[in-house]
Amino acid sequence: MGNISYDSKWPMQFLGEHQHRIDAQGRVAIPARYREEFRHGIYLSKGLDPCVWVFSPQGWEEWAGAVGAMPLNQRRARVLRELVLGSAYGLDLDRQGRVLVPPPLRRYADLAEEVVIIGGGSFLGLWDRRRWEEQELPSIEEAASQMAEDGETSG
């Protein structure tokens, strides 16, 4: 894949699948092509699946704003707020482009040494490699196939 340059008026799209490792200190390298997006900080939180979601400051502001705007009188909205906002960490990349994944997030996503960073458009998903390959990827492929059969996709 060639280098893609992004026009600053369009938001960054996080794409692809990237194999990485978490070191003994709990740090993982962010793919080099995306590091510029995190120069002013990086936000990590529990994902809705057993993974860690990784946001740029702009992406976090949008997501946290949407979650924060949900009505407090609805239990599902409160639970989502607590899951996402209550588990969030605002961090910085180190000089080598790594971020420390806090222990509560590593436990939540059951992150071992080998991880996969998955592009999610406006965020990255940090998955345990084994869980991704054995459980999540087959279910995503099955759901996508079913959506196509049901006519839920365009194109």
SS3 107: helix
Distance CA 76, CA 82 (A): 10
Rounded to the nearest integer, the mean pLDDT of the chain is: 86
Can you give the pLDDT at residue 49? 87
Mean pLDDT, to the nearest integer, of 65-86? 90
For residue 61, the model assigns a pLDDT of 93
Is 109 exposed, middle or buried (CB count within 10 Å of its CB: 0-12, 13-18, 19+)? buried
- Please, what are the domains in the chain? 17-128 (3.40.1550.20)
Query: What is the model's pLDDT at position 7?
Result: 43
Q: pLDDT digit string (tens) for 44-71?
A: 999 988 999 999 999 999 999 998 899 9
Report which of residues 112 and 3 the model is more confident about.
Answer: 112
Q: Is the pTM of the predicted complex or chain greater than 0.85? A: no
Query: Exposed, middle or buried: residue 19 (CB in 10 Å: 0-12, 13-18, 19+)?
Result: exposed
Confidence of residue 6 (pLDDT cuts 50, 70, 90): very low
Q: What is the pLDDT confidence band of residue 26, given thresholds at 50, 70 and 90? A: very high
* Predicted pLDDT at 149: 72
pLDDT over 80 (residue 40): yes
Least confident of 9-23, 25-39, 48-62: 9-23
